[in-house]
């Protein structure tokens, strides 16, 4: 049986320098996804032309810049994450090769075997964030799972998290005892359906 071996991490994108190469529909989708989760992400989008919708999105986010030019490997200088989403496969593959040569994490849109990471489905309710991955196989399934979780997670979950955080700070026991207390306290938060 095939297994998802991806390791999920939550990245502070506002502290990193992200490059998106491509100003079309896929570039818009990737940028929208990134900004939905991290509205202060530092991103430069490089392309020969940009969709009007992409320009409108960038106008609302001062940490995002547009650079109208063809991709060049020098665009990778000082980057942490790279997304290649041009409409030319040979350019996307070159972006991948250039990023790998610099030990940069790269995502090449719609080409899972050329990706170091995927942009999966995300559910956010206050401080609670859940990432969903189908190992790059079905973004549609990730979307359906996201919609399901958005419906079933209680709207007051952020208040619960805040209260648990305040309580946790009052505990003076050793680490193992704190874990046991918090586990006991939270064991009934999610009702199991029989």
**pLDDT at res. 176:** 82
Alpha-carbon distance of 161 to 141, in angstroms, equals 28
Residue with tokens 């790279």: 82
**Is the pLDDT confidence value at 161 over 80?**
yes
- pLDDT value at residue 32: 96
Tell me the two tokens of residue 102: 């610099």
pLDDT for 193: 47
pLDDT in tens, 68-107: 999 999 999 999 999 999 999 999 999 999 999 999 999 9
User: pTM of this prediction?
Assistant: 0.83
User: Which burial class, exposed, middle or buried, applies to 120 when counting CB atoms under 10 A from its CB (0-12, 13-18, 19+)?
Assistant: buried
Q: Does 55 score more than 80 pLDDT?
A: yes
Q: What is the residue extent of each domain of the chain?
A: 13-118, 120-153, 162-186
111-157 pLDDT tens trace = 989 999 988 888 888 888 999 988 878 878 988 999 999 898 888 88
> Rounded to an integer, what distance in angstroms lies between the CA atom of residue 16 and that of residue 9?
14
Task: Strand 105-108: give its sheet, edge to edge.
Answer: 64-68, 43-47, 18-21, 81-84, 105-108
Q: Is the pLDDT of residue 160 over 50?
A: yes
Q: Which residue has the tokens 């020969």?
A: 48
Structure confidence at residue 191 (pLDDT): 54
Superfamily of domain 13-118: NAD(P)-binding Rossmann-like Domain (3.40.50.720)
């Amino acid at each position: 049986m095939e297994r998802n071996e991806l390791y999920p991490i939550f990245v502070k994108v506002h502290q990193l320098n992200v490059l998106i190469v491509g100003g079309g529909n896929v570039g818009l989708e990737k940028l929208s996804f990134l900004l939905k989760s991290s509205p202060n992400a530092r991103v430069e989008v490089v392309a020969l032309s940009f969709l009007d919708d992409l320009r409108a999105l960038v106008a609302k986010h001062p940490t995002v810049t547009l650079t109208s030019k063809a991709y060049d490997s020098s665009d990778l200088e000082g980057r942490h994450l790279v997304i290649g989403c041009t409409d030319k496969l040979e350019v996307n593959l070159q972006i991948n090769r250039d990023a790998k040569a610099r030990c940069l994490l790269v995502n090449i849109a719609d080409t899972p075997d050329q990706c170091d990471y995927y942009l999966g489905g995300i559910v956010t309710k206050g401080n609670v964030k859940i990432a969903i991955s189908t190992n790059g196989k079905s973004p549609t399934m990730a979307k359906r799972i996201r919609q399901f979780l958005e419906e079933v997670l209680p709207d007051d979950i952020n208040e619960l998290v805040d209260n648990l955080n305040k309580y946790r700070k009052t505990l003076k026991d050793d680490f193992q005892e704190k874990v046991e207390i918090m586990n006991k306290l939270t064991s009934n938060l999610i009702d199991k359906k029989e």
